[in-house]
Structure 1
Amino acid sequence: MKKVVSVLLLALLAGCAKPSDGPTAGSIRSATLPRTNERIPVIELANAPGGMPAASTSLNDTSPGLAVLRGGYNAQKLRRGDVFDVTVLDTGEEGLFSSTQSKTLNLGRFTVDQSGSVTMPFVGKQRVIDSTPEGLQNRVVAGLKGSAVNPQAVVTVVDRPTSAVMLSGAVKSPGKVPLTARQERVLDVINQAGGPTVAPDAATVTVVRGSQRASAGLDRIMREDKQNIRLAPDDQVMVDGASASYTALGAFKSSGEFQFETGKLTLAQAVGRAGGLLDDRADARNVYIFRNQPVPVRTVGNVPSGVPGAVRPVIYHVNMKDASSIALMQMFQMQKGDVIYATNAPLVDSAKLLTVFQKSPPTAAAPLPGAAN
């Protein structure tokens, strides 16, 4: 009798420190943010926003994204490494062609050097980078004044070895993608490489142009035309893709991380993938979804209020004892990074505590042979 009373007293004294595999329902409902002590909201599943579509954070992203990289590729402009021919015509009777039977003269083939310049006979050194063939023709004619009576020039681009971008990451065929007069955009080069290897809402596209760098979600690029920018030679386009996953913890039959395709997994299916609740351990009235939810940027007047891309924790509560919750779980869409947690039933943690105190005390070791009494 005394032993039973002692165990009960110890159980009462240690009630706030009983063994458990995770937080209790009470501690979850009183959870606060570490720095601000702000209470994390706990929302009943029935009060969740309609359907909770599995949107990526880019749906609420008001950052400039790739739109900050303006310009793009102008196929008419000369760039470093471009090769062009220059042919001069003169209809006058005197001057540059007076000693020849021909009225045309090929000045040669020239390559734009790293400084963006070329040196041509009769014309001298010219900085030609970003010039169009038509603009360069006028400069050649101006340089021939005095050497020819009525000169005309034709500039023909014969090779553009630098007109390409480097595409890498989560695409089927990464590598160098040439640019043409069509002025390819981001989606053009990704499609030329066979498309992404992950779902659009799981991919982030980063474009590096010189010292500039910008990123945007692939789904946002597909949705917003201004994000599908025109690319320029030597741009680096990187597609970073990580498959969406959620984590099941606590009193599930199979806890762990599970991969899924965003927009195609409901909460009911997610619980099923984890094997369902443990019958002898879980508290079906207290199942929770932990989520970092994007904070929408509101506009007060014409001034945006809030931090673009900011998220805040939110907890959704599910009472799986309530039959209506099963219907709601079929509409609640899982999002990348969600954590589902099933608490232990109160009696389970109490039983663990009793088991700890009911363990027999260790017996003393036998005395060594010959030891004194």
Structure 2
Amino acid sequence: MRRLAPLLLVALAAAGCRPADGPSNGSIQSAHLPGGGQKIPVIELADAPSGAASAFAPTPSDLGAGLSALGGGAYNSERLRPGDVIDVTVLDTGEDGLFASTNSKTLNLGRFTVDQKGFVSMPFVGRQRVAESTPTGLERQIVSGLKGTSVNPQAVVTIVDKPSSAVIVSGAVNAPGKIPLTAKHEKVMDAIAQAGGASGKPDAVDVTIVRGKRRATASLSRVMNEDRQNIYLQPDDQVMVEGGASTFTALGAFKSAGEIQFEVGKLSLAQAVGRAGGLLDDRADAGNVYVFRNQYIKVPVPAAVNDKTPTATTLQMRPVIYHVNMRKASSIALMQLFQMQKDDVLYATNAPLVDYAKLFTIYQKSAPTAAAPAPSL
């Protein structure tokens, strides 16, 4: 039976029955997307663009509307909202009327809180809808309400407090909490700055704005670099800053496999291999190291029937695999230019003989022997 071992190993290897810690080189090269069956592109490191932030640089339109989808102009801090507190004083310059029985020509009606339906009730004036009105507009309402009881009425409305005119900033910021909106017309970056700034790097942090039943998201780096993403905030907006440190994952035949933190734009592929402890000399296949990444790639747009125009392309987020042959000296130089991105997976395959050796070890194991009978008493 022992003489059949070499033939058995060859037969099992040909059938793909090899013990392994992950996908083989062949399975990676022929990998397809689940369901759709589309082949995942495998790009040689020499064919990757310098820096390799992505195979094709996406334009802002490719990234979607982001926060700009919420739109909206600057918040008008003069407009009254439920919960606002106002102070009202009326004046009468006529000889007869509201103040005829007093020596004073002014009367402070008091402070009033706008109720949840947007109304306030004031003496001599009655119940008035004031939501979305300005102090100037409310003064005109009061004057109109006093006609008939005052000869030449005038009114002064002062906003005392606007507790509802604020936004909530939460998540990965250094000082989360409520940020009041003022006449300065605060934008997203203003609120994040007042909250102590983001606790993570811009490329690793997403900003989500929740406005009523609507929400929109963009990366912090995009908000910083695109004016249209740094939108004006509105009362009751929720600004959620999510994310933290960027990481990549090293799997397979590395000395220190695992999840490793880094700063985007400051870690090359060569450095990433070093962070993972380098390849295992007795196990790794230096000719087949891979980087798995989700990035924007050009995807053909289906043409209409009988359309004679060239097939158009669009950019879509798809999986891409980069292949690195570390046996080549040129690859080491290219690895210094290839920049790691957030959520990359760095994978080193086993050398073929390693898997064969595992199979041989399994075959060589002796069959378990029966346990010795228990001694009789």
Give the structure-2-normalised TM-score.
Answer: 0.89
How many residues matched? 364
- In the alignment, is the contact (CA less than 8 A) between 1:137 and 1:153 conserved in 2? yes
Cα distance change, pair 122–58 in 1 and its aligned pair in 2 (3 A): farther
Match of 1:334 among 314, 334, 340: 340
Cα distance change, pair 121–350 in 1 and its aligned pair in 2 (3 A): same
Q: CA deviation at 1:66?
A: 4.5
Residue 94 in structure 1 maps to residue 90 in structure 2? no
AA aligned opposite 1:317? H
Runs of 4+ in structure 1 displaced over 4 angstroms?
Answer: 54-60, 295-301, 304-307, 364-370
Rounded to whole Å, the distance in 2 between the matches of 1:179 and 1:363 is: 79
Say which SS state the counterpart of residue 256 (structure 2) adopts. coil
Rounded to whole Å, the distance in 1 between the matches of 2:122 and 2:278 is: 78
1:355 matched residue in structure 2: 361
CA offsets per residue over residues 182-232 of structure 1, 9 Å max, x none?
A: 121111111112111001111111222233322221111111222212222
RMSD value over aligned CA atoms?
Answer: 2.6
Match of 1:13 among 8, 11, 14: 11
Alignment of 1:33-182 (within 5 A): 33-53=33-53, 60-182=62-184
Rounded to whole Å, the distance in 2 between the matches of 1:351 and 1:297 is: 42
AA aligned opposite 1:143? G
AA aligned opposite 2:23? P
CA offsets per residue over residues 119-149 of structure 1, 9 Å max, x none?
A: 1122111010111000111111111112222
Q: CA deviation at 1:163?
A: 2.5
1:281 matched residue in structure 2: 283
- In the alignment, is the contact (CA less than 8 A) between 2:298 and 2:313 conserved in 1? no
Q: CA deviation at 1:242?
A: 3.3
CA offsets per residue over residues 50-85 of structure 1, 9 Å max, x none?
A: 221379989641234254142452111111121112
- In the alignment, is the contact (CA less than 8 A) between 2:67 and 2:209 conserved in 1? no
Cα distance change, pair 9–66 in 1 and its aligned pair in 2 (3 A): same
Rounded to whole Å, the distance in 2 between the matches of 1:211 and 1:22 is: 44
Give the structure-1-normalised TM-score.
Answer: 0.90
CA offsets per residue over residues 148-177 of structure 1, 9 Å max, x none?
A: 222221111122222222211111111122
Alignment of 1:218-367 (within 5 A): 218-295=220-297, 310-365=316-371
Rounded to whole Å, the distance in 1 between the matches of 2:148 and 2:240 is: 52
Rounded to whole Å, the distance in 2 between the matches of 1:26 and 1:323 is: 23
Cα distance change, pair 93–368 in 1 and its aligned pair in 2 (3 A): closer
Q: CA deviation at 1:322?
A: 0.4
2:306 matched residue in structure 1: none
- In the alignment, is the contact (CA less than 8 A) between 2:67 and 2:230 conserved in 1? no
Say which SS state the counterpart of residue 6 (structure 2) adopts. helix
Rounded to whole Å, the distance in 1 between the matches of 2:246 and 2:298 is: 22
* Percent of matched pairs sharing the same residue: 63
- In the alignment, is the contact (CA less than 8 A) between 1:62 and 1:297 conserved in 2? no
CA offsets per residue over residues 240-259 of structure 1, 9 Å max, x none?
A: 11321111111111111111
Rounded to whole Å, the distance in 1 between the matches of 2:46 and 2:317 is: 22
Say which SS state the counterpart of residue 209 (structure 2) adopts. strand
Say which SS state the counterpart of residue 78 (structure 2) adopts. coil
Say which SS state the counterpart of residue 338 (structure 2) adopts. coil
- In the alignment, is the contact (CA less than 8 A) between 2:167 and 2:237 conserved in 1? yes
Rounded to whole Å, the distance in 2 between the matches of 1:99 and 1:368 is: 118
- In the alignment, is the contact (CA less than 8 A) between 1:58 and 1:220 conserved in 2? no
Say which SS state the counterpart of residue 128 (structure 2) adopts. strand
Deviates more, 1:97-106 or 1:276-285: 97-106
Rounded to whole Å, the distance in 2 between the matches of 1:145 and 1:248 is: 79
Q: CA deviation at 1:265?
A: 0.8
